[in-house]
Amino acid sequence: MSRSIIALGLLATSLLGCATAPVQLETERTYQVEWIGERPLIDRSRLSLTLGEDGRAYGNAGCNHWFASYTLAGDKLSFGAAGSTRKLCAPALMEQEARFLANLAKVQRWDVSPIQQLRLWPAAGKPLRLWPAEG
Protein backbone atom coordinates (compact mmCIF):
# COMPACT_ATOMS: atom_id res chain seq x y z
CA MET A 1 0.00 0.00 0.00
CA SER A 2 2.71 2.50 0.94
CA ARG A 3 4.61 1.78 -2.30
CA SER A 4 1.60 2.80 -4.38
CA ILE A 5 1.19 6.00 -2.35
CA ILE A 6 4.87 6.84 -2.86
CA ALA A 7 4.56 6.08 -6.60
CA LEU A 8 1.51 8.35 -6.88
CA GLY A 9 3.36 11.09 -4.99
CA LEU A 10 6.33 10.86 -7.34
CA LEU A 11 4.05 10.88 -10.38
CA ALA A 12 2.21 13.96 -9.10
CA THR A 13 5.49 15.75 -8.39
CA SER A 14 6.85 14.99 -11.86
CA LEU A 15 3.64 16.22 -13.51
CA LEU A 16 3.77 19.48 -11.56
CA GLY A 17 7.28 20.03 -12.89
CA CYS A 18 5.87 19.90 -16.42
CA ALA A 19 3.17 22.50 -15.80
CA THR A 20 3.55 25.67 -17.83
CA ALA A 21 3.37 29.14 -16.37
CA PRO A 22 0.07 30.98 -16.83
CA VAL A 23 -0.16 32.96 -20.05
CA GLN A 24 0.10 36.71 -19.54
CA LEU A 25 -1.18 39.53 -21.71
CA GLU A 26 2.00 41.08 -23.08
CA THR A 27 2.68 44.65 -24.10
CA GLU A 28 4.57 45.26 -27.33
CA ARG A 29 3.23 41.95 -28.70
CA THR A 30 0.88 41.87 -31.68
CA TYR A 31 -2.24 39.72 -31.57
CA GLN A 32 -4.30 38.71 -34.62
CA VAL A 33 -8.07 38.86 -34.23
CA GLU A 34 -9.89 35.64 -35.17
CA TRP A 35 -13.48 36.30 -33.98
CA ILE A 36 -15.50 39.40 -33.17
CA GLY A 37 -18.15 38.28 -30.72
CA GLU A 38 -20.14 35.51 -32.38
CA ARG A 39 -18.74 35.99 -35.88
CA PRO A 40 -15.42 34.95 -37.43
CA LEU A 41 -13.52 37.38 -39.61
CA ILE A 42 -14.17 37.71 -43.31
CA ASP A 43 -11.83 35.44 -45.27
CA ARG A 44 -8.33 36.88 -45.73
CA SER A 45 -9.06 39.99 -43.69
CA ARG A 46 -6.42 40.92 -41.13
CA LEU A 47 -7.25 42.65 -37.86
CA SER A 48 -4.61 43.17 -35.21
CA LEU A 49 -4.05 44.62 -31.76
CA THR A 50 -0.84 45.70 -30.05
CA LEU A 51 -0.70 47.14 -26.55
CA GLY A 52 2.16 49.60 -26.33
CA GLU A 53 4.08 50.06 -23.09
CA ASP A 54 3.04 53.74 -23.19
CA GLY A 55 -0.69 53.02 -22.65
CA ARG A 56 -1.56 53.31 -26.34
CA ALA A 57 -3.12 50.43 -28.28
CA TYR A 58 -3.00 50.24 -32.06
CA GLY A 59 -3.34 47.91 -35.00
CA ASN A 60 -5.12 47.19 -38.24
CA ALA A 61 -8.93 47.16 -38.24
CA GLY A 62 -9.20 45.36 -41.58
CA CYS A 63 -9.22 48.43 -43.77
CA ASN A 64 -7.82 51.26 -41.65
CA HIS A 65 -5.20 51.57 -38.97
CA TRP A 66 -6.67 52.24 -35.53
CA PHE A 67 -5.35 53.61 -32.24
CA ALA A 68 -6.71 54.16 -28.73
CA SER A 69 -5.58 54.55 -25.16
CA TYR A 70 -5.94 51.56 -22.85
CA THR A 71 -5.85 50.74 -19.15
CA LEU A 72 -4.60 47.37 -17.92
CA ALA A 73 -4.73 46.31 -14.26
CA GLY A 74 -4.56 42.58 -13.55
CA ASP A 75 -7.32 40.94 -15.58
CA LYS A 76 -9.13 44.26 -16.12
CA LEU A 77 -8.67 45.87 -19.53
CA SER A 78 -10.45 48.82 -21.10
CA PHE A 79 -9.93 50.97 -24.16
CA GLY A 80 -10.55 54.65 -24.73
CA ALA A 81 -12.35 55.97 -27.80
CA ALA A 82 -10.65 54.63 -30.92
CA GLY A 83 -9.51 56.78 -33.79
CA SER A 84 -8.55 55.52 -37.23
CA THR A 85 -7.36 56.49 -40.65
CA ARG A 86 -10.16 57.19 -43.16
CA LYS A 87 -9.58 54.87 -46.10
CA LEU A 88 -12.65 53.33 -47.75
CA CYS A 89 -12.86 49.61 -48.49
CA ALA A 90 -15.54 47.15 -49.56
CA PRO A 91 -18.79 47.57 -47.58
CA ALA A 92 -18.40 44.18 -45.84
CA LEU A 93 -14.91 45.11 -44.61
CA MET A 94 -16.14 48.50 -43.43
CA GLU A 95 -18.98 46.82 -41.49
CA GLN A 96 -16.55 44.36 -39.90
CA GLU A 97 -14.20 47.20 -38.97
CA ALA A 98 -17.05 49.13 -37.33
CA ARG A 99 -18.07 46.00 -35.35
CA PHE A 100 -14.48 45.45 -34.22
CA LEU A 101 -14.01 49.03 -33.00
CA ALA A 102 -17.44 49.03 -31.32
CA ASN A 103 -16.65 45.75 -29.54
CA LEU A 104 -13.21 46.99 -28.51
CA ALA A 105 -14.85 49.93 -26.72
CA LYS A 106 -16.94 47.48 -24.64
CA VAL A 107 -14.02 45.35 -23.39
CA GLN A 108 -13.79 45.12 -19.60
CA ARG A 109 -11.50 42.17 -18.90
CA TRP A 110 -9.24 39.61 -20.52
CA ASP A 111 -8.43 35.94 -20.02
CA VAL A 112 -6.86 33.01 -21.82
CA SER A 113 -8.99 30.10 -23.03
CA PRO A 114 -8.12 26.43 -22.45
CA ILE A 115 -6.62 26.39 -25.97
CA GLN A 116 -4.37 29.37 -25.07
CA GLN A 117 -6.38 31.91 -27.07
CA LEU A 118 -6.54 35.47 -25.76
CA ARG A 119 -10.13 36.58 -25.09
CA LEU A 120 -11.24 40.18 -24.54
CA TRP A 121 -14.59 40.18 -22.75
CA PRO A 122 -17.34 42.82 -22.79
CA ALA A 123 -19.76 43.16 -19.83
CA ALA A 124 -22.22 40.96 -21.75
CA GLY A 125 -21.91 38.79 -24.82
CA LYS A 126 -19.14 36.90 -26.57
CA PRO A 127 -15.48 37.98 -26.50
CA LEU A 128 -13.07 39.16 -29.13
CA ARG A 129 -10.77 36.17 -29.68
CA LEU A 130 -7.13 36.62 -30.70
CA TRP A 131 -3.93 34.66 -31.27
CA PRO A 132 -0.37 35.92 -30.80
CA ALA A 133 0.92 36.97 -34.22
CA GLU A 134 3.76 34.92 -35.60
CA GLY A 135 7.03 36.48 -36.49
Residue type, 35: W
Neighbours of 67 (CB within 10 A): 16
Residue type, 134: E
Q: Residue 48 burial (CB < 10 Å; 0-12/13-18/19+)?
A: middle
Q: Residue 6 burial (CB < 10 Å; 0-12/13-18/19+)?
A: exposed
User: What ranges do the domains of the chain cover?
Assistant: 25-132
- Does the pTM of the predicted model rise above 0.75? yes
Arch. (CATH architecture) of 25-132 = Beta Barrel (2.40)
Partners of 58 in the β-ladder = 50, 67
Q: Residue 40 burial (CB < 10 Å; 0-12/13-18/19+)?
A: exposed
pLDDT at position 25 is 87
**Which residues make Cβ contacts (< 8 Å) with residue 69, sequence separation at least 6?**
55, 56, 57, 79, 80
Range in 3-12, 21-30, 83-92 with the lowest mean pLDDT: 3-12
For residue range 9-34, what is the model confidence (pLDDT) as tens digits? 444 444 444 444 555 788 999 999 99
- Residue 108 pLDDT class (50, 70, 90 cuts): very high
